[in-house]
Structure 1
Amino acid sequence: MSADHPPGLDLDRLRALLDRERPGLVTGPLTGRLIEGGRSNLTYAVTDGTSRWVVRRPPLGHVLATAHDMRREHRVISALHPTRVPVPRPVLLCEDDEVLGAPFYVMEFVEGTPYRTADQLAPLGAERTRNAVLSLVDTLVELHAVDPAEVGLADFGRPEGFLDRQLRRWGKQLDASRNRELAGVDELHAALGRSLPTSQAPAVVHGDYRLDNVLIGEGDRIEAILDWEMSTLGDPLTDLGLLAMYSQPLGMTHSPVSTTAEAPGHPTPAELIERYAERSGRDVSDVNWYTAFAWFKLAVILEGIHYRYTLGQTVGGGFDRIGDLVPVFIDHGLTTLQEG
C-alpha cells in the first residue's frame, strides 16, 4: 500500500460509502494516512483536499469484538457531542465488514496537539503547562456532570458492583501474565479488595483520561477528548485516580514509560484533586484508593507487556526496560494506599 492508501483503509470503498450515506460531503479524491497504530484501535486522517475527517477501526487481524467496539465509541461521542464535553462531531458508523474489513466510524478532524511527554510540554512554559493541565480537570468535571439518562446512555454500563468487577478483572489479567515473582503485587491487590470504597452516583467514565488523550488547541483549551474505547458507566473517581497517578513523577531517569508530570509548571496530584473536588462538589476523601488502584492497573498492564517481551512477541525498542518499571508502580500503589 502507498502512503495515501495505508493498510486497513480502502479509500475507494470509503468514498463510495460516504457518497451514498452523506451525499455532497466529499468533494474530491480521498487520501489518507495512519495517525497511530499499535495495540489499540487504528486511527487514520482522511482528506479530500478541502475537508478532513478521522476514521477509527480495530487493529488488523483477529481481535476480540468486545475489546474494540466501534459502536460503543461512536455511541458515546454521539451522545456527548451536544453537551459541553468537547468531542469530535460524529459523521457515521459502519458495521458492514465488507467496506474496510471491520466495523469503523468516521468523525470530523479536530485541530490540536496531544502532549505525550514532559519534553513536548516544556516549550509551552510553566504557566501555560499549568493552565493546560488544570483545564484537563475542568473538562473531566464537565464529563462527570453529564446525566447519562439525559443523553441516552442510561444503559451504557453496569455501575452496580463496578469497582469490585474492575479489581477482579485486573487481578485476572495479572494472573494471565505471571512468569516471575513480583514483590508486593498480591499484597496491593488484597489491600485494595479489603478497603473497597462505596461508589458515588455513576457517571460516564472515560477509562483512560490523561493529557495525551486530549487535543490542546489555541489558548491552551481542550478541543476534544479522544480514545473512548474504555468508556462506560461507572465510578467517576476512577478517572480522577488515574489522572492523579499520571501526574505523579516516577522518580526514574530514562523511564521507558513517558509521563508529563516532570514538565515545569505541571500541577501536583493534590492540586488536581482539590480542584476537582471544588468544581464537582464530589466527596474525594477516598481518592487515595482510586489512585492506588490506578498504580495497580498500570502495573498489570506493564507486566503484560513485559510478559509478551519475554516471549518475543513485542516489536520495537524500549520493551527490555518495561519489566523494571513494574515494581516501581507496585511500590507507589502500596505507599498511596497506606497514606489513605
Structure 2
Amino acid sequence: MTDDDPPGLDLARLRERLDRDLPGLVAGPLRGEVIAGGRSNLTYRVTDGTSRWVVRRPPLGHVLPTAHDMSREYRVISALNGTGVPVPRTVLLCDDPGVVGAPFYVMEFAEGTPYRTEDELLALGPERTRSIGLALVDTLVDLHSVDPDAIGLADFGRPDGYLQRQLRRWKKQLDSSRSRELPGIDDLHDRLAAEVPESGPPAIVHGDYRLDNVLVDSDDRISAVLDWEMSTLGDPLTDLALLVAYAGRDTTSLGIVSNASDAPGYPDTEAVVARYAARSGRDVSRLDWYVGFAFFKLAVILEGIHYRFDHGQTVGEGFAGIGNSVLPLVTRGNTILDNATRQESQ
C-alpha cells in the first residue's frame, strides 16, 4: 500500500483484480476515500476519473468473517436487482483475502443523499420531508413484497422460529456484557419471551432499515437501500418496528441515532404504521411487541458498547456517555408493553 491509499484498501491491487476479472472496466489509476457513516463494515468511494464505484470490506483487524460476510451482502443486493427495490448494481465479489487483506465486493456508485440530521430535512421543508418519510415506508413494503424463492434466496435464512431465535440471541449478548445493574431489562426480556407473536408470511428482512441507510434522489424518491449486512429471511415486522423505534423522540433525543425524523413534516408513528399496513396488507395488531423488542435489542447493543469501552476494548471518541442511554431505552420498551396490556384489557 502507498500513502495515497485509504486505510484497508490497496488501490493498485484492487485495480489488478478488476483488470483481471473485468478487463476494460477501469480506464485509469484509481483514487479512493473512506465514506463516513458506516458503523461496521468499511465503505470506500473509488474512481478512475471517469467512473465511480463503491467498495465494501470488513473492519480492519477483524478475525471472524462469518460476522461480516461479504458474499452474503453481495448475494442479496445482486438478487434484488430488477425487483423494483432500489439497490446499487453489483460489479465484483472477491473472496480472496490476499488482495486487500479481507474479502470485499464492488458495486456501482449510486447517486443520492443520505439524510442524517434534522437540519438537512429542515432545508427541504415539511412537504418534501413528509414525501421522503412516506417513500421510505413504501420502499420497505416493496422489499417485503419480494418473493425470496423467485429471486434465488429461498435458503437465505430460516424464517421458522425467527423471533424466538432473535430473542435468545440478544439475551445471550446481554449476558455476555453484564457489568452493572440494569433495572428493568430482565423484566423486559421475560415479558417479550412470554408473549412471542405468531409471525405472518416471511420476507427478506433488511435488519437495520432507517432513513440514514438509504439514499434519496432529487425527486425525493429512494434511489438506493444500503447496508445489507444484517439481512436475512424472517419476520418483516421487525423492520417496521425498528424503523418506528429509531424515529421516536425518546430515541433521537438520546443522541445515539439520526435525528432527521424530528424535522417538521416527517410522518409520525401512526402515519408510518398505517401506511405500511394499508400498502402491505399485513396484520400489525401486535406491533407493540415488536417495538418493545426493538428497544430491547437497541439497549443490548449499547450496553455491549458500554461494556467494551469500560473494559478498554474500544478506541475512539463518543463512547464515554453511551451507557447512559441504555436505561431510557429499557424504560421505553417496558412502557410500550404496558400500554399494549392496558389497551388489551379495555
Fold agreement, TM-score > 0.5: yes
- Structure 1 position 335, deviation (Å): 1.0
- Structure 1 position 37, deviation (Å): 6.8
Residues in 2 aligned to 1:57 and 1:37: alpha-carbon distance in whole angstroms: 14
Instruction: Provide the TM-score with structure 1 as the length reference.
Output: 0.96
Give SS of 1:130's match: helix
Gaps of 5+ in 1: none
Residues in 2 aligned to 1:61 and 1:174: alpha-carbon distance in whole angstroms: 24
**Which residue does 1:294 correspond to in 2?**
294
Farther-moved stretch of structure 1 (74-83 vs 117-126): 117-126
Mapping of residues 124-139 of structure 1, within 5 Å = 124-139=124-139
**Which residue does 1:17 correspond to in 2?**
17
Residues in 1 aligned to 2:258 and 2:188: alpha-carbon distance in whole angstroms: 23
Residues in 2 aligned to 1:62 and 1:220: alpha-carbon distance in whole angstroms: 37
**Which residue does 2:172 correspond to in 1?**
172
**Which residue does 2:242 correspond to in 1?**
242
- Structure 1 position 129, deviation (Å): 1.1
Give SS of 2:156's match: coil
Farther-moved stretch of structure 1 (277-286 vs 249-258): 249-258
Residues 1:190 and 2:205 are matched in the alignment: no
Residues in 1 aligned to 2:255 and 2:233: alpha-carbon distance in whole angstroms: 33
**Which residue does 2:285 correspond to in 1?**
285
Aligned-partner residue type, residue 80 of structure 1: L
Give SS of 1:137's match: helix
**Which residue does 2:50 correspond to in 1?**
50
- Structure 1 position 62, deviation (Å): 2.9
> Cα–Cα, structure 1 residues 92 and 275, in superposed 2: closer, same or farther, change >3 Å?
same
* Alpha-carbon RMSD: 1.5
Aligned-partner residue type, residue 308 of structure 1: R
Give SS of 1:204's match: strand
Gaps of 5+ in 2: 341-346
Residues in 2 aligned to 1:258 and 1:312: alpha-carbon distance in whole angstroms: 26
> Cα–Cα, structure 1 residues 253 and 170, in superposed 2: closer, same or farther, change >3 Å?
closer
Alpha-carbon deviations, 1:273-319, whole Å to 9, x = none? 11000000111111111111111100001111111121233333332
Residues in 1 aligned to 2:124 and 2:229: alpha-carbon distance in whole angstroms: 29
Equivalent pair of 1:256/1:318 in contact (CA under 8 Å) = no
Aligned-partner residue type, residue 280 of structure 1: S
Residues 1:214 and 2:226 are matched in the alignment: no
**Which residue does 1:74 correspond to in 2?**
74
- Structure 1 position 253, deviation (Å): 5.4
> Cα–Cα, structure 1 residues 252 and 89, in superposed 2: closer, same or farther, change >3 Å?
closer
Tell me the number of residue pairs that the alignment of Structure 1 and Structure 2 aligns: 340
**Which residue does 1:28 correspond to in 2?**
28
> Cα–Cα, structure 1 residues 108 and 312, in superposed 2: closer, same or farther, change >3 Å?
same
**Which residue does 2:323 correspond to in 1?**
323
**Which residue does 1:87 correspond to in 2?**
87
Residues in 2 aligned to 1:253 and 1:163: alpha-carbon distance in whole angstroms: 28
Alpha-carbon deviations, 1:82-129, whole Å to 9, x = none? 110000000010001111111110000011111122233221211111
Equivalent pair of 1:256/1:319 in contact (CA under 8 Å) = no
Aligned-partner residue type, residue 313 of structure 1: Q
Instruction: Provide the TM-score with structure 2 as the length reference.
Output: 0.95
Residues in 2 aligned to 1:100 and 1:37: alpha-carbon distance in whole angstroms: 21
Give identity over the alignment, percent.
66
Equivalent pair of 1:214/1:225 in contact (CA under 8 Å) = yes
Aligned-partner residue type, residue 285 of structure 1: S
- Structure 1 position 39, deviation (Å): 4.8
Farther-moved stretch of structure 1 (14-23 vs 51-60): 14-23
Residues in 2 aligned to 1:253 and 1:144: alpha-carbon distance in whole angstroms: 29
